[in-house]
Structures are given as C-alpha cells and as structure tokens.
A and B are shown apart, each in its own frame.
Chain A
C-alpha cells in the first residue's frame, strides 16, 4: 500500500466512511463526522500510521485533505 493510499484510508476509517469517494475534497466540518472530536481521532490514526507526532500548530492548521497532505509531508513522509 502506498503512503497516499494509507493516508486516504485513515480518513475513511476515522470518519467511518463507506468508501474513498469524495475523500480528496473533504474539509474540516464539511461532514458531520469531521468535528473537533473526529479531528483528533483522524490525527491519532495518522500519527500511528506514519509513526509521527504532530506539532499542535499543525493539528490546528490541518483543515482539509489537501492541507493535511502538505502538513504530513513536513514530517518526512513521502505523500
């Protein structure tokens, strides 16, 4: 599984989505599951998946699928 597949899977699992459809356009609070609580579940899954620990500022800035991708790249993850 590639890193982008793993990244996408974290969104699917964290938000209990049926499949990957529309995942790439997700933004914070654009769906019911991506609230503040769901946000931290997503962060926990990403940290576990890529064995990283995000800075608090990055957790706050993680506002969409695409923005998150930029942030995760900063942690030397090839996405």
Chain B
C-alpha cells in the first residue's frame, strides 16, 4: 500500500498505460481523480468496481485537452474537492505519424497542443494546489522517441521531447517547494496508440530492444508507481526509460 492516504490525478486514464496506472494506484490505496476525454458506461462500471474492490474513491473528470477552458474547468473541479493533491500523472497524449516532409503545420500544432501545451497548462493548475502543502510528485509520460528520434514520428517525438525539457525545468523550479517532477520514456508498449503505428516502425523498434517484445501497460505503471511514491523521494528531474533495453 505505497499510496495509502494519498490523492492522485491521472490524465488519459480511459485506456492503455493510464488505465493500468489507475488500477495499480487504486490497489496501492490512492484516491484518484481519473481524467479522460469522455466517460463511457463501460469505464464508469470499471471504476465503480475498482474503487469498491480497493476501498478507495475514484472520481472521473472529463475534459478535452484541446480546449483550454475545459482544462481549467477540470482543474477547478478538482480544486473544489478541497483535497490535498499529492500526485499528478500526465499520461494523455496523441500520436500522428508522417515522414518529415509530409508533416503539415496543422498536424504539428495539434500534436503539440495535446502532448505539450495542455499538459503544461494542467500541470500549472495542479501544482498550484500542491504548493499549499509544500509537497507533491509529478510524473510526465514522454517516450523513447523523444530521446532517440524515430523516422515517421517527428510530431510525436518532438512534442514528447518538449515535455522532457519541461520536466527538467519544472523539477528545478519546484524542488524548493517540495515538489518532485520526473518523466518516463516508454518504448513500444501494447496500447491502442502503438497498435495504430505502421507495422514496419513497430517491428524495427521491437527488434532494437534487448527483450525483443512489446511492453505491457502494467509494466510502465509499475515505474509510474515508483516515481509517484515515496520510494523515489530523492529522485527528481530524471527521465527513466521503460523500453525493454533499447539503445
């Protein structure tokens, strides 16, 4: 029970790594604000069962990351709960694959809007809530493509690289206030996003890994749990690869 008594905010919790993080956080005793773009009946049933089984509170918060007003309303909803927020996990993201010369400015801006600008905006709001108690942990989900590059993924890789630079800057600014900020760089993880990747890109990345297989969302969630919990209380400003040994 690494997170008993803690309250976490998780974006992108509807599926993939976000859903796996939701589950491992609940099983470790955290109360959770589960942020997602939309709430469907299946997800509502899932969080109802999970919260009941784990004896924690899970509150869905729905907003579109492309809508700044909606992001602010989502943060206000969390603020109004009057709970101290201990953990923020930024998982929500979007991918757009195209070779460098095929990337339109519109697509590039949209990818940055979702993967970077909205993450910064939401983190500004939520870390302001953390300032009151003078402690907190933020985990940003980046990607190994941000560190290594990957043909066909200019928009995604660049936006995730920006998130790493922001992580390092935020960690320096917020450390004096007791807030740690770290990033994870997952490799090829079995999610809807990587299922939609062109097969040649996915195969090439898997072939480069020591473990020669895709990772599973709960294998990333374990690393998120480590960075969110006090197990990593002397760790900030770091980027940890969870990639099966690529590079």
| Per-position binary interface string of chain B over residues 120-160, scored 1 when its CB falls under 8 Å from any chain A CB and 0 otherwise | 00001100110110000000000000000000000000000
Q: 18 more A-B contacts (CB under 8 A) besides A37-B176, A37-B177, A41-B177?
A: A40-B128, A40-B177, A41-B131, A41-B132, A44-B128, A44-B131, A45-B132, A47-B79, A47-B128, A48-B79, A48-B129, A48-B132, A51-B80, A52-B76, A53-B72, A53-B76, A53-B125, A56-B124
Please give the distance in Å from A51's CB to the nearest CB on chain B: 6
Alpha-carbon gap, A51 to B72, bound state (A)? 12
Q: Which residue, of A37, A47, A48, A53, has the highest number of chain B Cβ atoms within 10 A?
A: A53
Total chain A interface residues with beta-carbon distance under 8 A: 12
Cα of A43 to Cα of B124 in the assembled complex, Å: 12
Q: Which residues of A contact B82 (CB under 8 A)?
A: 48
Number of A-B contacts (CB under 8 A): 30
Closest to A45 in B: B132
Query: Which B residue sits closest to A36, measured CB to CB?
Result: B173
CA–CA, A40 and B72, complex, Å: 17
What's the dominant secondary structure at chain B's contact region? Answer: helix
Chain B residue nearest to A48 in the complex (CB): B132
Interface pair A40/B131, CB less than 8 Å apart: yes
Q: Which residues of B contact A52 (CB under 8 A)?
A: 76
A interface secondary structure, majority: helix
Q: A47-B128, A48-B132 are in contact. Are A53 and B177 (CB under 8 A)?
A: no
* Residues in B neighbouring A44, C-beta threshold 8 A: 128-129, 131-132
Instruction: Write the residues of chain A forming the contact surface with B, with a CB cutoff of 8 angstroms.
Output: 37, 40-41, 43-45, 47-48, 51-53, 56
Sampled A-B contacts (9; CB under 8 Å): A43-B128, A47-B128, A48-B132, A51-B76, A51-B80, A53-B72, A53-B75, A53-B79, A56-B124
User: Among residues 171 to 195 in chain B, which have CB atoms less than 8 Å away from a CB atom of chain A?
Assistant: 176-177
Cβ-closest chain A residue relative to B130: A44
Q: A37-B176, A37-B177, A56-B124 are in contact. Are A51 and B79 (CB under 8 A)?
A: yes
Residues of A within 8 A of B79 (CB): 47-48, 51, 53
Collect the chain A residues with CB atoms within 8 Å of residue B125's CB.
Answer: 53
